[in-house]
Amino acid sequence: MVISPKSALPVPVFSLFVLLLFPASSVAQDQYALKRQQMVEQDIRGRGVKDPVVLGVMGKVPRHLFVDPSYRDRAYGDHPLPIGEGQTISQPYVVALMTGALGLKRSDRVLEIGTGSGYQAAVLAEVVREVYTIEIRKDLAQRAELTLKQLGCKNVQVKYGDGYFGWEEQAPFDAVIITAAANHIPPPLIKQLKEGGRLIVPLGSMVYFQTLTLATKRRGQLDVEQISPVAFVPMVGEMQKK
Ligand code: SAH
């Protein structure tokens, strides 16, 4: 009898290996746990993200619940996916990269511009104390709010509106994350950032590629550092009038 290479590793041995790596409860509760862990290892740690908090959170937040059921099987691939209205949920690696770059602390309060599916907000909510997120498309804002509520995310507030103006009543913020392409940093967001706080934004052309840019506020001015090329959907509303 010829044993094919595939059957060389008896199934029970492989199952035992999986169960040792991932406790039975998490595998049973979430059929995507294995795919999510593979995403963390290959696409996030494998591409240089080392922060254990970020890696832990990316391995925990159920990304498949932020996309349409027809896309669930592709939710852990390293690419953006459509979320309706021509918008996208960002690539997991970029979510991890942006979250890590902000150097967040547990006690922080963060403002996000561009709620989209709510996935980035859910990731942030596992890292910091409070997340405030603004979405300019009403349907997306409502859907994200519902998803976050269903997942029991209690420290995220979603607002429908133009994020260009920030969220004055909740300012100042320890960090600001803009998840849509911008050709400049909106002055109200700089104003609402704490001294020493960080802001991350895909900055440059609104149509093609941008440079992921990290800005730190020192004495009211921004110190700017370029991180990597990215491609985001454009920020609309007031941003496009400038
Ligand atoms: N962070 C999202 C993905 C962002 S896609 C996620 O995790 O799924 C970019 C989002 O920014 C889109 O939903 C788009 O509608 C929104 N957007 C564009 N311009 C905006 C603005 N001026 N204010 C708030 N949201 C905006």
pLDDT at res. 11: 41
Q: 90 an active-site residue?
A: yes
Residue 10 CA to ligand 1 center (angstroms) comes to: 47
Residue 116 CA to ligand 1 center (angstroms) comes to: 5
Ligand 1 mutation pick, 113, 134, 165, max ligand atoms within 8 A of CB = 113
Torsion of CA 232, 234, 239, 242, to 10 degrees: 100
Three-state SS annotation for 24-92: HHHHHHCCCHHHHHHHHHHHHHHHCCCCHHHHHHHCCCCHHHHCCHHHHHHCCCCCCEEEECCEEECCH
pLDDT tens digits, one per residue of 66-123: 999 999 999 999 999 999 999 999 999 999 999 999 999 999 999 999 999 999 999 9
pLDDT tens digits, one per residue of 43-70: 999 999 999 999 999 999 999 999 999 9
Torsion of CA 69, 62, 167, 217, to 10 degrees: -130
pLDDT value at 2 more than 60: no
Ligand 1 mutation pick, 85, 91, 110, 115, max ligand atoms within 8 A of CB = 115
pLDDT at res. 3: 38
Over residues 207-211, the mean pLDDT reads 90
**What's the pTM value of the predicted model, to 2 decimals?**
0.89
Pairwise CA distance, residues 133 & 159, whole Å: 6
Tokens 């918008």 identify what position? Answer: 87
Return the residue whose CA atom lies nearest to atom 11 of ligand 1: 114
pLDDT at res. 29: 57
User: Which DSSP string do the residues of 178-189 spell out, in sequence order?
Assistant: E-SBBSS--HHH
pLDDT at res. 206: 80
**Which of 4, 70, 90, 117 is labelled catalytic?**
90
Confidence of residue 30 (pLDDT cuts 50, 70, 90): confident
Pairwise CA distance, residues 18 & 6, whole Å: 17
Minimal CA–CA distance to 170: which of 193, 150, 149, 154?
193
Ligand 1 atom, smallest distance to 140 CA: 13
Residues in contact with ligand 1 (CB, 6 Å cut-off): 87-90, 113-114, 116-117, 119-120, 134-137, 140, 162-164, 179-180, 233, 235-237, 239
pLDDT tens digits, one per residue of 124-167: 999 999 999 999 999 999 999 999 999 999 999 999 999 999 99
Pairwise CA distance, residues 112 & 95, whole Å: 12
